[in-house]
């Protein structure tokens, strides 16, 4: 889980060496591409909430933490998400009544 505070500027790197394309989706925010494969982005900003990350591609991205909650960043290939290709993004001070554990009965098709 990644912890942020409202107003933080979050910079992170997504690197893919899996041999497959991963359509990564960040919930609750829009991010901007800063670089792709080490080459700085130029021209019009490339804003996204979903980004296809090809094999051997690396993206540096950034977003403003401006939507408090507990959010997920995951691969849109459901099998990949089910295998753990996801992360949670939580804001300091935000809590949830939900607890981990037990069978939720929610299975990808």
For the chain, what are the domain ranges? 2-91
The residue length of the chain stands at 109
Instruction: Tell me the C-alpha to C-alpha distance, in Å, between residue 30 and each of 6, 55, 56.
Output: 15, 23, 23
Q: What is the pLDDT of residue 109?
A: 66
Q: What is the pLDDT of residue 108?
A: 66
Nearest in space to 52 (alpha carbons), one of 82, 81, 20, 84: 20
Query: Are 28 and 79 in contact, with CB atoms under 8 Å apart?
Result: no
Q: What is the pLDDT of residue 84?
A: 86
Q: What is the mean pLDDT of each run of 10 residues along the chain (109 residues)?
A: 96 95 95 98 95 97 97 91 90 86 66
- pTM of the full predicted structure? 0.84
Largest CA distance in the chain: 49
CATH of 2-91, one of 3.30.920.30, 3.30.420.40, 2.130.10.30, 2.60.40.420: 2.60.40.420
Q: What is the pLDDT of residue 97?
A: 82
Instruction: List the 50-53 sheet strands across, edge first.
Output: 2-4, 86-91, 70-75, 22-26, 50-53
Q: What is the pLDDT of residue 96?
A: 85
Two tokens, residue 22: 């991963």
End-to-end CA distance of the chain: 26
């Amino acid at each position: 889980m990644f912890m942020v505070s409202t107003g933080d500027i979050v910079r992170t790197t997504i690197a893919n060496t899996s041999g497959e394309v991963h359509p990564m989706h960040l919930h609750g925010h829009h991010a901007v591409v800063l670089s792709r494969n080490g080459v700085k982005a130029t021209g019009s900003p490339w804003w996204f909430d979903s980004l296809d990350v090809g094999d051997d591609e690396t993206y540096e991205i950034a977003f403003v933490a401006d939507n408090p909650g507990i959010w997920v960043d995951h691969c849109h290939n459901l099998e990949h998400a089910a295998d753990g290709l996801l992360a949670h993004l939580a804001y300091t001070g935000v809590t949830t009544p939900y607890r981990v554990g037990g069978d939720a009965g929610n299975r990808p098709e």
